[in-house]
């Protein structure tokens, strides 16, 4: 398996890499607007390949995030002309890597999904071991580096590049009031991801409680995506609590939306998960007992001051662990590693 260990070529290239990072133009793919939007906050100029085949939208979804000023949307054909000298390309799937295999530039693969979850969701007959071997062999072959959004996903794929947790903009996500004593869940394509989201558990926890669902789910009556990030913020500010569920083997105990909710000051109710950022009774309620979680929801509905107290602790957690400073530093180190490792 690929291990990004120092070698003579990396040492010789280090000075050149440092100079290159100062003034970079980067190439990436619009795999998910919220993630790419956050990625743009590290700075530099970006060309983003959009649209991508197989996505639910035919172009950048401004309902999710506006297009940042330092992002230029281009087609895959434009990217492959070779007319732009990119410092590095950041892919978000193996398909992304295959699309740009002809470009002789450093490459990074971001691991966003759990391998077991991917296999289960796609009903693949390929084993975990076979997928791990295929990925690591391909990364070695093209001289690419893998980074992961969490330890769970890093371990699942058997890669050894750095883990870069999400950046959450706490300057934007703030202002919790919790005036509406209902729950909130943000998720796209729930029916396709029901196994990963442990949707059966979500329904058991939420049964009989008002829980608003927002996101692109055309098969769910009355469920609509937010029109923009300001409308999304209003939901975080006004709803009393956030409900998050995930299947332990297949997905992390948090995602971008649950962390944004915490940043805004919402308490989170979630099923037990080793990677969940929720501490029971401190910044929300977490348990493997559905009745206990339902009791926690009743407490939050009845006591807005309790919700504010728990939400404040959650916001402090996000500010400490998901800051732009840490995110930018981690990405700069990852890009330098990719530039030096490339051969």
Q: How far apart are CA 188 and CA 61, in angstroms?
A: 12
Backbone angles phi, psi at 67, to 5 degrees: -75, 120
17 and 46 housed in the same domain: yes
Domain harbouring 128, CATH code: 3.40.50
Residue 103 neighbours by CB under 8 Å, 6+ apart: 27, 79, 80, 82, 86, 89
The answer, yes or no, to whether residue 9 has pLDDT greater than 80, is no
Please tell me whether the peptide bond between 26 and the residue prior to it is cis, using omega within 30 degrees of 0: no
Tokens linked to 6: 């120092």
152 and 20 housed in the same domain: yes
Q: Check residue 257 and give its pLDDT.
A: 97
Q: Check residue 6 and give its pLDDT.
A: 40
238 and 299 housed in the same domain: yes
| Number of domains observed in the structure of the chain | 2
The predicted model scores a pTM of 0.90
**For residue range 262-314, what is the model confidence (pLDDT) as tens digits?**
999 999 999 999 999 999 999 999 999 999 999 999 999 999 999 999 999 99
Beta strands in the chain (DSSP E): 25-29, 45-49, 71-74, 88-91, 107-111, 145-148, 180-186, 211-214, 239-244, 268-271, 284-287
Q: For tokens 């890669």, what's the residue?
A: 159
Q: Check residue 17 and give its pLDDT.
A: 42
User: How big is the CA angle at 6 (ends 326 and 88), to the nearest 5 degrees?
Assistant: 55
118 and 184 housed in the same domain: no
Q: For tokens 């693949």, what's the residue?
A: 124
Q: How far apart are CA 237 and CA 285, in angstroms?
A: 19
**For residue range 51-60, what is the model confidence (pLDDT) as tens digits?**
988 777 889 9
**For residue range 146-189, what is the model confidence (pLDDT) as tens digits?**
999 999 999 999 998 999 999 999 999 999 999 999 999 999 99
Q: How far apart are CA 150 and CA 156, in angstroms?
A: 10
184 and 55 housed in the same domain: no
Give mean pLDDT, residues 31-45. 95
Domain harbouring 218, CATH code: 3.40.50.2000
305 falls within a domain: yes
173 falls within a domain: no
> b/e per residue, 86-102, with b = 16+ CB within 10 A?
bbbbbbbbeebbebbee
153 and 95 housed in the same domain: yes
Q: How far apart are CA 142 and CA 106, in angstroms?
A: 9
316 and 196 housed in the same domain: yes
Host domain of residue 238: 180-321
The answer, yes or no, to whether residue 10 has pLDDT greater than 60, is no
Q: How far apart are CA 139 and CA 94, in angstroms?
A: 10
260 and 295 housed in the same domain: yes
148 and 264 housed in the same domain: no
Report the mean per-residue pLDDT for the chain. 92
Tokens linked to 162: 């750095």
């Amino acid at each position: 398996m690929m291990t990004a260990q120092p070698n003579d070529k990396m040492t010789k290239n280090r000075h050149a890499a440092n100079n290159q990072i100062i003034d970079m133009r980067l190439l990436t793919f619009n795999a998910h607007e919220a993630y790419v939007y956050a990625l743009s906050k590290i700075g530099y100029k970006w060309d983003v390949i959009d649209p991508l085949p197989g996505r639910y939208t035919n172009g950048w979804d401004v309902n999710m995030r506006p297009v940042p000023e330092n992002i230029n949307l281009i087609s895959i054909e434009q990217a492959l002309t070779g007319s732009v000298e990119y410092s590095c390309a950041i892919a978000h799937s193996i398909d992304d890597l295959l699309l740009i295999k002809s470009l002789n530039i450093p490459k990074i693969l971001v691991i966003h999904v759990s391998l077991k979850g991917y296999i289960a969701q796609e009903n693949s007959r390929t084993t975990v071991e076979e997928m791990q071997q295929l990925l690591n062999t391909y990364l070695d072959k093209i001289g690419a580096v893998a980074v992961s959004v969490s330890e769970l996903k890093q371990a699942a794929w058997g890669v050894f590049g750095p883990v870069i947790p999400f950046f959450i903009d706490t300057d934007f996500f703030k202002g919790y009031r919790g005036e509406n004593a209902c729950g909130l869940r943000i998720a796209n394509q729930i029916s396709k991801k029901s196994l990963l989201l442990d949707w059966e558990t979500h329904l058991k926890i939420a049964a009989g409680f008002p829980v608003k669902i927002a996101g692109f789910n055309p098969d769910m009556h009355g469920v609509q995506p937010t029109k923009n990030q300001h409308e999304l913020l209003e939901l975080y500010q006004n709803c009393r609590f956030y409900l998050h569920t995930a299947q332990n083997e297949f997905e992390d105990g948090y995602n971008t939306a649950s962390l944004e909710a915490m940043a805004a000051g919402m308490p989170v109710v979630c099923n037990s998960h080793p990677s969940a950022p929720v501490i029971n009774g401190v910044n929300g309620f977490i348990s493997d007992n559905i009745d206990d979680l339902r009791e926690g929801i009743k407490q939050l509905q009845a006591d807005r001051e309790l919700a504010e107290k728990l939400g404040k602790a959650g916001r402090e957690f996000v500010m400490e662990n998901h800051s732009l400073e840490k995110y930018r530093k981690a990405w700069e180190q990852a890009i330098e590693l990719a530039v030096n490792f490339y051969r």
